[in-house]
Amino acid sequence: MKTTMIEIFALPLALLFGCSSNNAAQQASADVVEDTVETYSLNNIDFSLANDLCQKQKETLALTKAERICADKVNDLAFSMLHQMAKELMDSSFVVSPMSLNCAIAMAGNGAAGRTLQEIERLVGPIAVANSFFKKYHAALPHNEYSNCGIFNYLAVNPKDPIKKDFTDKISTIYNACVKPIDFANPKSVKQINDWFCRQLQDESLNVVKEPDAETSLLLANVLDFRAFWSLPFNSQFTYDHDFTTDNGEILQIPMMYCQERTCLYTENASFKAVSLSYLGSCYRMLLVLPKTEKLSKLTSAMTSNTFSNILNSLKEKEVELSLPRFRCVGDMEVKEMLSKVIPSAFDVQKANFSAICELPTWINEISHKTSIEVTEQGTKARSITVESFLVKAETENPKFIANRPFMYIVYDDATHAIMLTGQFCGDGALLTEDNNSSKRH
């Protein structure tokens, strides 16, 4: 049988994109992903059960036509994120999660109205449909011994601000979010939020929220956790060090996982080769796209949702000789800059309309997005953290009327407004107490 050989010596393009190559980024990834993917043996796998679990997830994810639009919006956001990060980091590696960011924006959209709602819906789709999509997606997440994935949401509300109960109830019900009153001025508030995520993910090292502004009115945190074994693991005995040539010509020695013959979904054209690898117990796959001669930057800049769909439609089952780097890396994206171009009013105290959250002026103050991925012989583990913080403009203080300089006065009736008396006071004639003999001018 003829075998196609594909050596992934350039950075892979996946639904979770890339990785990071510098030491600082590698160290930073420890905040998100701590340990390696667990090992497993093919002898212990119930392939019939794993296939049934995959089919069940596909059935649960049967989308309506309207929900399909929201899924496409996730992919549109994916390539917007890819293009920005590739432009900023050039030849460096990175990873982002469009699913996590899109979910966080959709939650915020439930509190938006007017122009702000219109902008958010252009990004995530109609809010009611986006709610339906994410509720269905959450229900379809696999929780089995082969694939275990979760989306965890937390809504922290400052009790001093009049946040609407309809909004918090909606986020709790649709997005299965934990809703808690939090005093952000209290140093222990951060620990309270992080402890909840640590319990949910059974990871004591998890640090989702840093020190928020003491004036924060609302905080939305989303954590996407992905853990899945390959349908067919790489044998670690065949992992070897191999030259990896970067786009700037530097040659690195990196560990390369190897499989001499593997049945994969595969395609190629004049510009690139692509392979899609499956995971056990779920319908998730990793697509890797390798440029043939041109630099990766040219390929990534041309990638769109349509290009992605065309690649998937052209994949065919084929025996492939596969070499793939073993890697672990992180991405820390400045998403506020990108989002301010597509939902500008949401970040503008004067223009933001989150009246479904609070009647007082409310806007997104900060938004952070951090993702980490680890790919080994056994499978893939990734985690993405998106945090949005909102500020509410305090009610205007009671106006002060301090008559400490000359003033005019009028006495009138409130029925006809006919004036009974009018005059002015300039300081002389003040009624002094017995302790004072005269008025003092300043």
Which DSSP string do the residues of 269-311 spell out, in sequence order?
A: -SSEEEEEEEBTTSS-EEEEEEESSS-HHHHHHH--HHHHHHH
Q: Is 130 helix (H, G, I), strand (E, B) or coil?
A: helix
Per-residue pLDDT of the chain (442 residues; tens, 9 = 90+): 444 444 443 333 334 444 333 433 333 333 343 344 566 666 678 889 999 999 999 999 999 999 999 999 999 999 999 888 888 887 777 889 999 999 999 999 999 999 999 999 999 999 999 999 999 999 999 999 999 999 999 999 999 889 999 999 999 999 999 999 999 888 888 899 999 999 999 998 888 998 878 888 999 999 999 999 999 889 899 999 988 888 888 888 888 888 887 888 888 898 888 888 889 999 999 988 888 888 888 888 888 999 999 999 999 998 888 888 888 888 888 899 899 999 999 999 999 999 999 988 899 999 999 999 998 999 999 999 999 998 887 655 556 556 666 656 555 446 556 545 556 656 666 666 665 554 454 5
Spatial distance between the Cα atoms of 3 and 239, rounded to a whole number of angstroms:
20
Does an H or E element contain 252, and which?
strand 251-268
Question: Tell me, what DSSP letter sits at residue 374?
Answer: E
Using alpha carbons only, what angle is made at residue 233 by residues 303 and 4, rounded to the nearest 5 degrees?
Answer: 55
Secondary element (H or E) of residue 107:
helix 98-109
pTM above 0.85, yes or no: no
The neighbour count for residue 73, using CB atoms within 10 Å, is 24
CA distance 110 to 101: 15
| CA dist., res. 430 & res. 442, Å (int) | 14
pLDDT at residue 395, as a whole number = 55
How far apart are the two ends of the chain, measured CA to CA in Å? 104
What is the pLDDT, as a whole number, of residue 416?
54
Query: What residue has token string 């059960």?
Result: 49
Strand 251-268 versus strand 316-325 pairing type = antiparallel
Q: What is the CA angle 435-437-442, rounded to 5? A: 105
Residue 257's identity, in one-letter code, is M
Residue listed under structure tokens 């790489």? 234
Q: For residue 276, is it left (φ>0), alpha (ψ between -120 and 50) or beta?
A: beta
Assigned token pair, 255: 């560990």
CB neighbour list of residue 299: distance below 8 Å, 6 or more residues apart: 13, 271, 272, 289, 291
What H or E segment, with its residue span, contains residue 365? Answer: strand 362-375
Q: For residues 249, 255, 261 and 263, what is the CA-based torsion angle, rounded to 10 degrees? A: -90
β-sheet bridge partners, residue 287: 276
